[in-house]
Amino acid sequence: MPISIKEDLLLADPLVWTPTGYSIIRKFQITGLAEYSPTLRPIMAAAATDSITGFTIPAIGTPHPDRPEAVVRQVQTICNGADCFDALCRYEWELLPSAYLKSFSGNLEQARHHYDINNILATVTYTPAGGVAQTQVADLTPLQLRATLSFHFLQTLDPEPSTVAYAGSVNSTTWRGFPPRTWLCLPIEGSTVDGVWYRNIYRFAYNAHSWDQYVVFRNVDHTIPPDIAASMVTDGSVTSGNGWGRFQIYPAVDFSTVFSFIT
């Protein structure tokens, strides 16, 4: 009797989340096994080949046709009658591999600065008729990158102590090629279903001008005296001057040490 295999494409909830990844079930119905003995039929069902199409029940280690990174880990056969068996093939793959998955998102936001692209102070001078020239510092509002870098890990590390210890801190040294104090650690997110494996997400926000804050003396009309603006140093080599100061408002830690698994 010819063997026939039909896949159940309407299988309810074939995708299952597990502590270490995802698994998906494919269900096949096999008929045409009556010529085999009752004890042999389940074995033949697990390795059956369709007599017309040549399709064979996927064996252990066979990749999924749509997700080649998922392979068959288990084949189970269920008897539904003397000549009808179901074969359940369970494919598994890790959503989060041992190496991290990285994602990057960013947008442009307006920021107020007093220097142009060449770090030249932006000033305007006005000389009224018969009067004295007056110079003011201009407020430039360029679009500035605000970016978030995310790393997704499957770990046995509970994220709670780390997020309490490091969320709201900045990098004290050069990290991933960027200057100190330009990356801010955001709260670390994690979830677990067994208390052993955690799906942790580490996020860091980028600020090209550092996460320090500048305080500048302003006149009663909110303008900045030109001599003060001209003396400001924005590269971090000097942190204060006449009429201005740079303040560190976030604690700094060595990201290369505390997040050594992020390379």
Per-residue confidence of the chain (263 residues) as pLDDT tens digits?
Answer: 789 999 988 876 667 766 566 788 999 999 999 888 988 999 999 999 999 999 999 999 899 888 888 889 899 999 988 789 999 999 987 655 555 677 878 777 777 776 777 767 777 888 888 888 877 777 777 777 788 999 988 788 899 999 999 999 999 999 999 999 999 999 999 988 778 778 889 999 998 888 998 888 888 877 778 787 777 777 667 778 888 888 999 999 999 999 998 98
The predicted pLDDT at position 49 comes to: 96
- Give 13's contacts (C-beta < 8 A, 6+ positions apart): none
The predicted pLDDT at position 230 comes to: 73
The predicted pLDDT at position 95 comes to: 59
Residue type, 85: F
The token pair at 190 is 């994690």
Q: Could you count the other beta carbons within 10 Å of the beta carbon of residue 219?
A: 10
Distance of alpha carbon 93 from alpha carbon 102, whole angstroms = 18
The predicted pLDDT at position 198 comes to: 85
Pairing of strands 198-206, 189-191: antiparallel
**155 closest CA partner among 185, 191, 184:** 191
The predicted pLDDT at position 154 comes to: 79
The predicted pLDDT at position 119 comes to: 66
The predicted pLDDT at position 100 comes to: 61
φ, ψ of residue 160 in degrees (nearest 5) = -60, -50
The predicted pLDDT at position 227 comes to: 81
